[in-house]
């Protein structure tokens, strides 16, 4: 049992060392790593603008092939668990939007060709609003929404 922990520690140390050497040698720079980050989409204050900047369109079609799981009542808006999955073949990306936030685009996940369209995360919500999941496919954008009531201190307010 101790050997397994030691091996894990050594592997992690070697990996961190390799990344540190690459950064110090100038092979990895923050500009290179973050070059494709959609800054305008995450800074947008409206849902349609965020989707246009991120995916090139704000036209979504509500679909039962997109399933979003979130609590009906969130006692703490700072930590709201959200799970999104889809039955759509060839999903390219999944975006999560909190419609009531000042900047509604919460997260965007690019999926590989053989990836299963499933993400699970925790999001921050400013107030009671819909949580919207948008799945990008070759034929367009599919979406689903779930209303989440954010209470103050868990008192149902």
Strands 105-110 and 93-98: antiparallel
Lowest mean pLDDT among 28-32, 57-61, 68-72, 150-154: 28-32
Q: What's the confidence (pLDDT) of residue 37? A: 78
Q: Model pTM? A: 0.76
Distance CA 53, CA 13 (A): 39
Residue 108: partners with Cβ closer than 8 Å, 6 or more residues away: 38, 41, 54, 93, 94, 95, 96
Banded model confidence at residue 22, pLDDT cuts 50, 70, 90: low
Q: In whole numbers, what is the pLDDT of the chain averaged over residues? A: 85
Residue 155 pLDDT > 50: no
Q: For residue 89, is it left (φ>0), alpha (ψ between -120 and 50) or beta? A: beta
Quick: pLDDT tens for 101-140: 999 999 999 998 888 999 999 999 999 999 999 999 998 9
Residue 113 pLDDT:
85
Q: What is the pLDDT of residues 30-61, one digit of tens each?
A: 655 555 678 899 999 999 999 999 999 999 99
């Amino acid at each position: 049992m101790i050997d397994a922990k030691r091996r894990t520690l050594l592997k992690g140390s070697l990996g961190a060392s390799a990344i540190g050497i690459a950064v110090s040698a100038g092979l990895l720079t923050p500009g290179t790593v973050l070059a494709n980050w959609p800054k305008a989409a995450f800074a947008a204050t409206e849902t349609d603008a965020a989707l246009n900047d991120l995916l090139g369109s704000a036209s979504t079609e509500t679909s039962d092939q997109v399933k979003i799981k979130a609590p009906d009542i969130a006692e703490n808006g700072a930590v709201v668990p959200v799970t999104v999955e889809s039955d759509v073949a060839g999903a390219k990306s999944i975006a999560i939007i909190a419609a009531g936030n000042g900047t509604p685009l919460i997260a965007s996940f690019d999926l590989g060709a053989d990836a299963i369209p499933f993400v699970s995360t925790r999001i921050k919500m400013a107030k009671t609003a819909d949580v919207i999941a948008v799945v990008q496919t070759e034929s367009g954008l599919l979406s689903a929404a779930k209303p989440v009531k954010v209470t103050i201190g868990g008192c149902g307010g």
